[in-house]
């Protein structure tokens, strides 16, 4: 478990997984709160990926070292310049009220990053989701353009014969 920065209660923790980033919120004394698949026992490496397919997640309080495993993490309160963090006591109180609760999980609208930013700022924000939505929009527009070009090309061939 390699780390960048010493977490303080209320800090956002970004865990670098092989294919994505997992997010947790530091509670103190080595513990974090994060969302995991409903049926998960011990922390899983692809926890968020499993939740995508079930549409549900469970909020768990776990040791940071167990959540991170062999991956790396950093303290990343990246939205502090955009949103004012809530008072630490309120962040922790709100976080603790979710422990062991089942929550809905949606990669684009309600993921682990949305969850922890909602706790810290009162706003659910996910740069990962925004990037994915932008990529989906670009692919959709490109596919539409190629379809239109194909249609126009076939119409022009029809006119030639």
Query: Which token pair is 141?
Result: 């527009």
74 catalytic per annotation: no
22 catalytic per annotation: yes
**Given 22, 74, 79, 114, the catalytic residue:** 22
Neighbours of 132 (CB within 10 A): 15
**pLDDT score at 137:** 47
Q: pLDDT for 18-46, tens place per residue?
A: 888 899 999 999 999 999 888 655 444 44
Q: pLDDT for 41-94, tens place per residue?
A: 544 444 444 444 558 899 999 999 999 999 999 999 999 999 999 999 999 999
**Given 74, 79, 112, 114, the catalytic residue:** 112
- Percent above pLDDT 90 for the chain: 53
Neighbours of 62 (CB within 10 A): 18
List the domain boundaries for the chain: 2-125, 127-161
Nearest CA-CA partner of 78 in 130, 42, 31, 151: 130
**pLDDT score at 106:** 79
β 12-16/31-37 pair status: unpaired
- For the segment 89-104, the average pLDDT, to the nearest whole number, is 96
CATH assignment of 2-125, given 3.50.90.10, 3.40.50.2300, 3.40.630.30, 3.90.1720.10?
Answer: 3.90.1720.10
Neighbours of 23 (CB within 10 A): 24
Listed in sequence order, the residues at least 6 apart from 77 whose beta carbon sits closer than 8 Å to its beta carbon are 11, 12, 85, 120
**pLDDT score at 54:** 59
């Amino acid at each position: 478990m390699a780390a960048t920065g010493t977490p303080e209660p209320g800090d956002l923790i970004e865990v670098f997984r092989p294919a994505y980033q997992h997010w947790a919120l530091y509670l103190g004394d080595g513990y974090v709160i994060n969302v995991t698949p409903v049926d998960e026992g011990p922390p899983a490496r692809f926890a968020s990926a499993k939740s995508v397919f079930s549409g549900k997640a469970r909020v768990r309080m776990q040791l940071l070292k167990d959540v991170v495993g062999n991956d790396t993490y950093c303290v990343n309160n990246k939205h502090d310049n955009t949103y004012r963090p809530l008072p630490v006591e309120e962040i922790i109180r709100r976080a603790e009220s979710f422990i062991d609760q089942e929550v809905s999980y949606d990669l684009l609208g309600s993921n682990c990053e949305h969850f922890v930013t909602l706790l810290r700022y009162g706003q659910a924000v996910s740069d990962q989701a925004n990037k994915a939505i932008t990529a989906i929009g670009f692919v959709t527009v490109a596919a539409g353009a190629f379809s239109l070009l194909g249609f126009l090309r076939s119409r022009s061939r029809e006119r030639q014969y």
